[in-house]
Structure formats: C-alpha cells, structure tokens
Structure 1
Amino acid sequence: MTRLRAPWRGFRLGLLAFPAMVLASVLITSYSLVANVVGILLVPPVLMLTRGLMDVYRDLIGRWSGVRIERPYLPDPAEEREGFAGVWDRFVRLSSDPATWRDLAWLLADPIVVLFTAALPFYLIAYGIWGFGLAAGMGGVIAGLGGTDYYGFVPVNGDYANDPTRIGFTIVLATVFTVAGFLSGPKLLGVYGRWGRLLLGPTERSRLALRVQHLTETRSEAVDASAAELRRIERDLHDGAQARLVAMGMTLGAIEHLLDKDPAKARLLLAETRQSSAKALNELRDLVRGIHPPVLADRGVADAVKAIALDHPLKVEVDTDLPGRPHPPVESAAFFAVSEILTNAAKHSGADRVWIDLRYEDGMLRITVTDDGRGGATFEGGTGLRGIERRIGTFDGVLALNSPPGGPTIVTLELPCELSSPRT
C-alpha cells in the first residue's frame, strides 16, 4: 500500500512548489522595499505566511515520510513595544532568526529538488501510462496526422501504428517507467524527508532557545504543582488527622477528670479515643500513600502499578519489562500518571478490561494503557489528562492519546530516563 500511495503523496508535495514560488517572490520583493520603510511593514506578515506554509510542509513530511521535523523558530518575547517601535522590533527579531533564511532557501530550492525526489515517481508513472497510450493507438493518431514524437529512444512517426517492433519497445519502456515509479516512491519520499529536516529543522541556536523556553515553562508548572500538592496535604491534615488528634486531646482531658468520679464513663471515652486513634492512623497512612506509596519506594514502579491493578474495580492486566529502576522522581511521576489514567478508565470509559504495558526501550520509559471502553476521550472536559501531561512534561515526557468514538482508548507515555542496576 505504501508503494501505491508514495507517488501520489510526492505529487501533492510537488504542488506546494507553486505557493512556495509565489511566497519567495513576495518575500524578496518585501525585503527590497525595506529602504522605503514599506518593507518593514510587509516583511513580518509575509514571514508569518511563509512559516504557515513551512508548517504544512513539516506536517506532511512527518506523516508521509516518517521523518519528524521540529518547529525551529526562536520563541517570541514576553512583551513587545507598541507602535512602530514594536513593528521594528518584530522585523528585526524575525529577520535575525536563522530559520527565516533557511525558509527562504527552501522556497527557492524546493521547486527544483522536489521534482527529482518526492514528485519524480509520479511523473515516471505518468510517463509510463503515456507510453501505454501511445502503444494502444495514440502513437498511430500522432503519426497519422503527420506529427513526430519520441518516447524515450523510440520515434513515433510515419508508419508507427504498423511497426510491431517500435510498439514493443514502447510497451517495454512504459513498463520500466511505471514499475520504477512505484518501486522508487517510498525511498525518494524518504530522501525528500531528510532534505526537509536539513532545512526546515531547528538549528543548534534555536534548539537551545526552545529548550530553555520549555524548561522555564515546565519549571513554573512544577512549582505550581508542588504548591498545590502542599496545599492539599495541609488541607487533608487539617481536616482529617489533625482534627482527630485535637479531639483526642480534649477527650483525654475529660477522662482525666472522670477517673475518680465516674470510672465507667472514663472507660467508655477511652474506647472511643482508641477508635479515633486508629482512624487517625489510617488517614495518615492514606495521606502517605498519596504522597509516595511505600510499595513504590520499596519495590519500584512496576510492582507499584501491579499493586494498584489488583485493587482496581476493572480487570487490569499488567505486562512489564524493566531491567532496572528509574530515578525516584521519574518513578513517582509515572506511577501517579498510570493511577490517574486508571481512575479515568473506571469513571468515564465504560470499559471492562484494561491492559498496561510498561517497558524500557531506547532510553525511554514507555507506558501504554489501553481499555476496551467507548472511546471519545479528549484532553478537555476535566479528565485530568492535561494534568498528567504537565506532570510528565517536567521530565521532558510526552503523552499521546488515541481514543476514537467506539474505542478503544490508548494512552501512551514516554519519559526519557536512565535505569539503575537491579542490585541498586
């Protein structure tokens, strides 16, 4: 199927050369007018249109060739000046971005490059079909009208329609061109993808700037999440164990006064105090499990996930392949992410079974949670997936969701990490 689709996809990528050539002309014209100030006003919006087209290229190349290309542009500043000063700042910022000139190089070169890479298989197939058409009768029509044409090295003129040798050569060449087009499609699409990554991908400068921006955002989110977690712990302690301990202190004070006057009443209050102490201890244990479950600290994330699977209301199957343990912060993030996903499955999915696959590959802790529910899950609607994404984003982790209507729902987590040795 890939060989059948690749030539058509390459042709569609070739069609983008037409808006690319138009934008290249407009962009060069805009820069030529900078001395007249008009260019300063025109360049930023034209560059935004260019970046939009480049995003289309990146998306199509990533989906069709399998070569993923990151967006390379330097981040926008937090604040910009108003008026013409802001326009000037934007012009300078966009023009000084290395990705801008790489985009221009793409606009100028790609209309030629695409013809010899991604789009070439389509034209080989089209030329092959034309050869079959010539052999089927079009060649005789051209020769009969006095025309002269060549198909490869075969002349199409004179008595072509009555020359089986030339018709035979035409069919052979047409077959070669058609087969070559289908066979070369995927490979030339891959070559085009690597060409796209060369010019449309980020430079080291932009990659570093984007990395700094990402770390700044995730640090801020981590600080907010930590503050919210501390508030939750404080609230749970204040409303739960702390209130019970205060009540126990008051009850013990009453018992102290009743020991001589009413021993029976004192014994009754002691029994109630013992029950309150047990409840307070259970609440403290639940609170500790919510902060960092003991099984996670003692046995690792694989066994901790198996433990929550045993207590889950749905039937959960867990398959793990971890030769070691990730660092504790990564383990904690992965565990609570899986716990939240399982909670969502029980509340919203309508599923009967859940499958969890947890393994370590290529420097990544990969976790896949699949349920057989009704599907239709999104990042919106209070499902908590956005919170999970922010939690693992602190560790440069990513979350992918695939939940078509009717199911199944597949949530995939990837967290880059190193594993400690099993002995450690």
Structure 2
Amino acid sequence: MFRDIAIAPVRGLVLAGLSVLGLIALLAHAAVVILSFSLGLVVLVPRAVGLARRVTDARRQLAARWHAVVILSPYAPEPAPPRPDADGMYESNGRLYRNPRVPALHNRIDWMLDDLATWRDVGWLALGGSVGVVLALTPTALIVYGALTAPWGFALIVVGLLSGPVLLRLHTTVSTALLGPPRRAMRSRPSKLVETWGRSAGLFGLSVLSLGALVGVPWAGRVADLRRRLAADWSGAPVAMPRDLRVTGRQLLFFALDPIVGVLMTVLPLALAVYAGWVLVFPQTWRWLVPPGEPPWSSGWYGQVAGSDLLVFPVAVVVMLLAAWIAPPLVRLNGRWVRYFLTPTGDKALTLRVRELVQTRAEMTDAAAAELRRIERDLHDGAQARLVAMGFGLGALEQLIDQDPAKAKQVLASVKDNSALALAELRDLVRGIHPPVLADRGLGDAVRALALDTPLPVKVRADLPSRLDPPVESAAYFAVSEALFNVTRHAEANTARVDVHLSEDVLELVVRDDGRGGVDMSRGTGLRGVARRLSAFDGAMTVHSPVGGPTTVRMTLRVSAG
C-alpha cells in the first residue's frame, strides 16, 4: 500500500506522457483521413491505426502491471491472406491483381476501419488527452504546489499522495470501459455513459471529416456504409444496407450538410468535457505548479468569482456528468439524422429489392442442389451400402442354411445388425431433412429438443401462439441448430440461451452464449449458409461477437401463421 502511494506520482507522469502520445496518434488519425479522402493515400491508414493501437496496448499493459486488471484485446481477428483464383489472380473490390500486395492492403484497411474497437480507441485517445491528463497530473501537481507553499503545503502534499492511487485506479476503470471488449450484460451505467460520450466524440470527428468524402468521392460510398453501421450499433437506429457502395446524390447532400448539422448535434458533450478539463481544472492545477512570483498561465478567474479556487474541481465533476448525461440522446438523434439521408428510398430501394430477390433465388437454387447432393451422398455411403451388404448376406445365408447351420446363424446376425444400422441411418437422414418432432409438435418443442441434445446447459424461451408454415419452421429450426452447433464446437461456452419470439409477421430467433467470442462470418460457411436460407423468407442475420464474448446471433424471418 505504502509503495503504491509513494510511486503514484511517478505513474501519473507516465500516464500523462502516454496521453501526449495518444494526442499525437489522434492527430495522425485526422491527418490520414484527410489525406486518404483528398489524395487517395490510403496506404497511411494502417500506420495511423497501428500507432493508436500501440498506445492503447501500452495502457492495457500498465493496467495489468499496476492494478492487476486484465484488459483483453477487443480487436477482431486479422483477415486471412488473399488467395488466388483458378487463373492465379487476386480479387479485391471488383478488380483483379497479379500479386497479393494490394488486396492484402485493402483487406487490412477494411479490417481496421470496420472494427468498432478502432473507434473506441479514438474515443479513449480524445478522453485521455483531456480528462486523462488531469487525473494523471493532479497528484504530482498537489505535491509540487504543497512543497512550494506554506502553511498549508504539508496538507496538500498529504492529499496529493493519498489521492494518487485513487485517481490512477479511476483512470484504469475508465480505460477498461473503453479499451476492453464490451460485455453488455455486465456493464454498469457509468461505463455506458462514458462509452456513449466517446461515441459522441467519434461522431463529432466523423461529421467534421465528412467534407473529405466530397473530395474523395470514390471512397464516399464506403464512408456512408460505415455511418450506416455506426447508426445501428451506436444509436439504435437501423439503416437499410444497400448491396453496392455506389455514391448517390442523396449521400453527397448528406456529406455536405453533416459538417454543420452533425457537428451541432455532437459538439456539446465534447465541448463540456474540454471546458471541464482544459478551462477549469488544468489552469487551476497549472497555477499551483508555478513558483511564487512567476506570472501564472491563468488568472484564476473562477476562484475570484466563486470565492475559492478549490470549487473548480466539484464544478468540473458536475460539468463532466452533464456531458455524459446529454450524450445518449444526442447520439440517438444523430442516428436518426443518418437514417433519414442514407436509407435507400424510392426507385433505389425497389432496384435493391429486385437485385436481392434475384440473388436470393440463385442462392436458394444452389442450396437446394447442394442439399440434394448431400442426401444422395449420405444414401450412397450409408444406407445403400448396408442394404447391398444385406443382399450379399442373404445370398450366403441360402447356401449355408443346410450345409453349415452355425455359420448361417452368424450371417443372419450380421444381416440383422446391418438392417438395424440401415434403419437408424435412414431415420437420421429423414431427421436431417425434416425432423419428426418439428412436424408433430412445432418449432418451440423442436428447439427444446435441440437444447436437450446440446452438451451444455441451454435455456429456451419460446413465445409462439400458433403453428407456422412448415418451410418457415424448417428454416428456423436449422438456423437455431447451426447456431447451437457453433456454440458447442467453437465458443468454449458454459451456458447458452435461445429466445424464439413471434411479433405480428416477424419471427425473431436469438442465440446467446457466454463463450470466447470473436465469431467472423466471413471465415466460415455454416452461418453464411444460414443467412442464405433465411434470405428466402426476407430474413436477416446479425452477429455481435467481440473478442472475449459474449456472442449474440440474431435472426429474423417474415412469416404467416399456419
């Protein structure tokens, strides 16, 4: 304990230096975004993001070393190396390349920019450069000021020493909320407010940089796609996602207005935080560091008006709480603003719908053909082989029944075993096509039967007032089956939960687990196959699986009561 008190000021100086590096990384982010949009220098993006990740990784290591707080890395798994096609070419963004360097660069940029952890890092860099510096330097400031003043200097030194571990622990708590994997089920309200404030700061930065999308029009579609996903994930305002990223006039109008409207929506929480840190607390702390007789950086006007310099700190806390309190409604308002301009409308929506139906039909045709091939293969390798063996066994039985009755009994036993195995394989095959429990008792009981067969505890809550059409029940059943199979095989989970809910004409299926997370749909065919199966019913699938868990797979289908 005494060691922590004694070393806290030094650790505060280390964190302050790290915050300065964070500000440099934040400025690098802004410069790279501008250069990427205006001059097309996208090759700089991995360097800027890599610098920020080195700074945040250093903070994670300090949290583990100083406070035994393990902040798991929240980043999505790195993309696999590009693979050549049959002609030895590499495809990326609709173009072919002779070597994998450019496709690998595109994949790496997409991996970094599509990862929400990257933007959480940006929020931490902004917060660390303002509030974080104050928390880190306050113990040292109190000690230095106390050593230079009398008669209250000793009391300030004691306060500085005692407050050091507390303020550093608070710094670690805030860093854990922003730099670790988001565990929605375990987050407290303060951490949610801090994260939402970081999101508002990120949206402010994106709004400021929206003009760059007008300069770099080829990248505007990708930026619009990012804003749609952030509106859904951060603001709770789902925006329809077009299948192509071509820029429309409506999107260009959004990028022209967003630097004004978007900034006005999100500037207040950031301005209040900057005011609390750099206008109230930092000048007052700096005044304490200035030796007597030297001109201070600030005149201490707040202390002159309020009657005491120390009132700066509680007022700064109130201002920070106000910034965190107003951030959530402003973030939600920004999501509605994005949805108004970036949702496909009119002819565009109809065109997208026709394309989706054409692609869905082709995918379902391929899926049906693949299913027929699977059934044929299972019959050929399983039941058919056993039936052929039974035929040979019966032929041998005819010859042995009079000559060698004992041998005939052995052959008969073998034929009997083969018949039982063939029957079992046929039942399994039929169950894989359309399970009897699904046909007899409906989707709810079929999902409960799946849960009983899963080798880990699975809670099921099914709210189905009536039976559904058989094709819908079948698609939903196999979707849940595939999700539970992934939980069992890959998630390393202890428990899982399945929720089945019917609301008017939408069936919602949610599969949650407490496993290790990190699910990437682009790396497996199982969930992609489920998404194709659901698309035939105007369905959709979303997967939220940060590294460290938990994982939530949400699936929807449009249905009609059976």
TM-score in same-fold range (> 0.5): yes
Could you say if the C-alpha distance between residues 360 and 412 of structure 1 is closer, same or farther in structure 2, counting changes exceeding 3 Å?
Answer: farther
- In structure 2, the partner of 1:84 is none
- Deviation per CA, 1:181-217: give whole Å up to 9, x if none: 6665443443333222222221122222222222222
- In structure 2, the partner of 1:69 is 239
Q: CA deviation at 1:130?
A: 9.7
- Three-state SS of the structure 2 residue aligned to 1:117 is helix
- In structure 2, the partner of 1:113 is 261
- AA partner of residue 69 (structure 1): V
Q: Identity over the aligned pairs, expressed in percent?
A: 45
Q: CA deviation at 1:328?
A: 1.5
Contact 1:352/1:372 (8 A) holds in 2: yes
- The alignment status of 1:273 with 2:415, answered yes or no, reads yes
> Please, which of 342, 366, 371 is the counterpart of residue 224 of structure 1?
366
Could you say if the C-alpha distance between residues 335 and 179 of structure 1 is closer, same or farther in structure 2, counting changes exceeding 3 Å?
Answer: closer
- AA partner of residue 286 (structure 1): D
Q: CA deviation at 1:332?
A: 1.4
Q: Distance in 2 between matches of 1:284 and 1:227?
A: 20
Contact 2:472/2:559 (8 A) holds in 1: no
Could you say if the C-alpha distance between residues 400 and 53 of structure 1 is closer, same or farther in structure 2, counting changes exceeding 3 Å?
Answer: closer
Q: TM-score w.r.t. structure 2 length?
A: 0.52
Q: Distance in 2 between matches of 1:130 and 1:405?
A: 35
Residues 50-65 of structure 1 mapped to structure 2, 5 A cutoff: 50-65=220-235
Q: How many residues align?
A: 354
- Deviation per CA, 1:300-329: give whole Å up to 9, x if none: 122112223323333333332222233222
- The alignment status of 1:201 with 2:343, answered yes or no, reads yes
Q: CA deviation at 1:287?
A: 1.3
Residues 84-163 of structure 1 mapped to structure 2, 5 A cutoff: 100-120=248-268, 122-123=270-271
Give unmatched runs, 5+ long, in structure 1: 27-45, 77-93, 137-159, 165-173
Q: CA deviation at 1:67?
A: 2.0
- In structure 2, the partner of 1:414 is 555
- AA partner of residue 464 (structure 2): L
Contact 1:322/1:358 (8 A) holds in 2: yes
Q: Distance in 2 between matches of 1:227 and 1:302?
A: 28
- The alignment status of 1:49 with 2:237, answered yes or no, reads no
Q: Distance in 1 between matches of 2:393 and 2:278?
A: 98
Q: Distance in 2 between matches of 1:406 and 1:126?
A: 32
Could you say if the C-alpha distance between residues 351 and 196 of structure 1 is closer, same or farther in structure 2, counting changes exceeding 3 Å?
Answer: closer
- AA partner of residue 65 (structure 1): S
- The alignment status of 1:394 with 2:560, answered yes or no, reads no
- In structure 2, the partner of 1:364 is 506
Contact 1:103/1:200 (8 A) holds in 2: yes
Q: CA deviation at 1:255?
A: 4.4
Give unmatched runs, 5+ long, in structure 2: 1-189, 285-301, 307-315
Instruction: Decide which structure has the larger Cα Rg and report it.
Output: 1
Q: CA deviation at 1:10?
A: 4.4
Q: CA deviation at 1:416?
A: 2.0
- In structure 2, the partner of 1:322 is 464
Could you say if the C-alpha distance between residues 210 and 255 of structure 1 is closer, same or farther in structure 2, counting changes exceeding 3 Å?
Answer: same
Contact 1:353/1:372 (8 A) holds in 2: yes
Q: CA deviation at 1:366?
A: 2.7
- What's the Cα RMSD here? 4.4
Could you say if the C-alpha distance between residues 182 and 358 of structure 1 is closer, same or farther in structure 2, counting changes exceeding 3 Å?
Answer: closer
> Please, which of 5, 20, 23 is the counterpart of residue 210 of structure 2?
20
Q: CA deviation at 1:127?
A: 7.4
Contact 2:541/2:556 (8 A) holds in 1: no
- In structure 2, the partner of 1:354 is 496
- In structure 1, the partner of 2:294 is none
Could you say if the C-alpha distance between residues 58 and 274 of structure 1 is closer, same or farther in structure 2, counting changes exceeding 3 Å?
Answer: closer
